[in-house]
Amino acid sequence: MAMTGASPTDRLRELQQHCTRIEQALSDSEQRTRMFAEAASDYLYELDEHLCIRFVSDRFEELTGIPAALIVGQSAVDLGRAHIAADRRAHQEDLLARRPYRGYRYSIRTRDGNLRHLQISGQPYFDETGRFKGYRGAGTDITEFVETERRLLEAEAELGLAQRMEALGQLTGGVAHDFNNFLTAFMGNLELALGRHDLPDDAAGYVRAALDGARSSEALVHRLLAFSRRQTLRPALVDIAEVLADLGSMIEPLLGERMQLSMEPVAGDISAMVDADQLQQSVLNLVMNARDAMPDGGTLYVSASLTLLSANDPSGLPPGDYISILVADTGTGIDEHLLNYVFEPYFTTKPPGEGVGLGLSMVYGFAAQSGGGVRVESVVGGGTHVEMLLPASSSSTAVDSVAGYMPGTTGERLLVVEDDPALSLVVCNMLRELGYEVASVGNADGALRFLDAHADVDLVVCDVVLPGDRSGLDVLRHAREQGHRAQWLLMSGFALDDGQFEEADTAGCDILRKPFRSRELADRVAALLSRARLPRAQAG
C-alpha cells in the first residue's frame, strides 16, 4: 500500500515493486509445481474443451518413451485402449457429461513396442462464467500391478484346470481298474471256452470274435490308465532299431505334404529293457508335438544312438550306457522361461482346446519309470530338440525262459487272493486247467489265516488292492515276517509306486498286469515255481 502524501513517482515505484513480488511469487509457485511434477511418480496432463491433449508432463515420456510433442493436440479419447469395453464406455460418458473420473485404466504401446498399463484420474475445470475449459489430472503406471494380477488369474485358472483334470484322472483310473477286473474275467472265460475240445466250430468262431473285441477294449483301458498315469509297464528286451523302423511308416502320413521326415539309421545293435508299446507311444507323442510346432512346414528329425553318461552329467542319471532317442524339429520353438514347465502334467503351450498337456508328462513318466530321463533344448524360431534317455541293455540281461518245466506235474499248491468273485473264479479255473491244486480267499485276513494253517503253499497269486486296511503287499510283508517261503505273484491294474515296486522286487515277487491272458499267467507261475525248485534240486 502506498503511504499517504507520497509523490506519484514513489507510488509508481511501490506499485512496480509489488508487481515484481507477485511475479516472483507466481514464478516460485510455478517452479515448485514443476518440481513436484518432475519428482512425482505420476505424470500430469491437461485437456482442452475439445478433450484434446493440451499439456503432459515429462514423466509421461519417461514411462512410455513417447515425447509430449507427438501427442499434444491429439484426442485423449483415442489415446490407448481400455482393458474392458464397459470401462471405456463409462469413461466416455463421464467426459461428455463433464464429470470427474477416477481410476480409469488403459494401455498404450510404447515406442519400443512394449505394452504399458496406465491409470488416470481427472477433474473438470471452468472459467469465471462457468464455461467448460477442459480437464486436469494425473496418471500413474500400473503395469507391474496389472501383470501380477493377470498372472494370478492365469495361475488360478491353471490350478482349477489341473484340479479338474486330476479329479478326472482319479475317476478314470478307478473306472479303468474296475473294468480291468471285469475284462480279465471275461477274457479268461473266453480262453477257457476255446480250450474245450467239444466246442463246435461255429461256436468257437463266435468266441474268437468276442475275444478280439475284448482285446480292443484292453487297449482302450490301457490308454485310460496311461492318461491317469497309473499304468503298469511290461518291460521286455526291445530292439530300438526295429521300433523306429516300425514307427517310420506310421509317422510319414501324420506330417502332411509341407513337412519332411529325416530318420537316421540306427548304428549298431542297441536294445533296452522297456515296455515296447509305451516306447512307441512316447516317440509318437514327441512326433505329434514336433508336427504341431511346424504349422508352416519344416523338417522332423528322428534318430537313436548309444551314449555314455558320466557321473557329472546334467541329467542327474547314474553313469553308464544309455540309448539316446532324439526327436527334433525346425518349428517355432519354446520360450526359455517355459522350458522348466514343459514336463508338468497339464502344462501346454498350445491354444485352449488344442492340447491338455499330457503328452510330454507321459513321456517323462515313462522314461523315469524305465530308469531314464528326458531333456529338452529349444530356441524361439529355431526349433526344439527333445532327447529321451533309456538305460541300454544287452541280450544277456533278458530274463531266462523256463525250459523243460511242465506245470502241475509235481502237485504244487497255490493260493489265490482276490476279492472279485468273477475274477477269482476264472484265475482259479485257469490254474486248475494247468494241473495245480488251488485254493482261494477273498481278503487279507483270510489269506494270513490260510497261510498259517497251510505251510505247504508253494505260490500265492494275490491282488495288490484288497478290501479293508491291508493290501496285497501288507499280506506279503506279514507272510515273510512269519517265515512263509511261498513264491508270490502280485496282480495289479495300477502301476506300483517306487516304494511298492522296490519292496516287491526285494521280496523276489513278480507282478502281473491286468488284464492278462491265460498263457501269461501260466508262464509267470511256471517261472516262479521253477525258481523255487532250483535251490531244492541243487541241495539234493
What per-residue confidence (pLDDT) applies to 351?
52
Q: How confident is the model at residue 173 (pLDDT cuts 50, 70, 90)?
A: low
pTM (global) more than 0.75? no
Percent of the chain whose predicted confidence (pLDDT) is above 90: 11
What per-residue confidence (pLDDT) applies to 135?
94
What average pLDDT is seen over the chain? 77
What per-residue confidence (pLDDT) applies to 399?
36
Half-sphere exposure of 532 (CA within 13 A, CB side): 23
- Can you name the residues that pair with 105 across neighbouring β-strands? 119
Mean pLDDT to the nearest integer, 321-349: 77
Mean pLDDT to the nearest integer, 254-265: 83
Task: Report angle CA 461, 494, 229 to the nearest 5 degrees.
Answer: 165
User: DSSP character for 536?
Assistant: H
* Cβ contacts of 88 within 8 Å, gap of 6 or more: 81, 82, 106
What per-residue confidence (pLDDT) applies to 405?
33
- Higher model confidence: residue 536 or residue 308? 308
What per-residue confidence (pLDDT) applies to 289?
84
What per-residue confidence (pLDDT) applies to 217?
64
Does 406 score more than 50 pLDDT? no
Q: How confident is the model at residue 163 (pLDDT cuts 50, 70, 90)?
A: low
C-alpha to C-alpha distance for 60 and 375, rounded to whole angstroms: 45
What per-residue confidence (pLDDT) applies to 136?
92
C-alpha to C-alpha distance for 223 and 218, rounded to whole angstroms: 9
Cβ neighbourhood burial of 122 (10 Å; 0-12, 13-18, 19+)? buried
For 5-41, write each residue's pLDDT tens digit.
667 777 777 777 777 777 777 766 666 656 655 555 6
User: DSSP letter string over 395-458?
Assistant: GGGSPPP--S--TTSS--EEEEE-S-HHHHHHHHHHHHHTT-EEEEESSHHHHHHHHHH-TT--
What per-residue confidence (pLDDT) applies to 122?
92
386 phi and psi, to 5 degrees? -115, 125
Taking alpha carbons only, the member of 427, 433, 532 closest to residue 490 is 427
Taking alpha carbons only, the member of 47, 109, 100 closest to residue 76 is 47
- Higher model confidence: residue 532 or residue 122? 122
Amino acid found at 409: T
Separation of CA 137 from chain center: 48
**CB 474, CB 509: distance < 8 Å:** no
C-alpha to C-alpha distance for 487 and 30, rounded to whole angstroms: 95
What per-residue confidence (pLDDT) applies to 354?
47
What per-residue confidence (pLDDT) applies to 231?
55
* Cβ contacts of 66 within 8 Å, gap of 6 or more: 60, 108, 110, 111
C-alpha to C-alpha distance for 514 and 114, rounded to whole angstroms: 56
Q: How confident is the model at residue 64 (pLDDT cuts 50, 70, 90)?
A: confident
- Higher model confidence: residue 347 or residue 484? 484
- Higher model confidence: residue 357 or residue 251? 251
Taking alpha carbons only, the member of 59, 57, 67 closest to residue 41 is 59
Does 381 score more than 70 pLDDT? yes
Mean pLDDT to the nearest integer, 212-231: 58
Does 431 score more than 70 pLDDT? yes
Does 346 score more than 70 pLDDT? no
Half-sphere exposure of 173 (CA within 13 A, CB side): 17
Does 99 score more than 90 pLDDT? yes
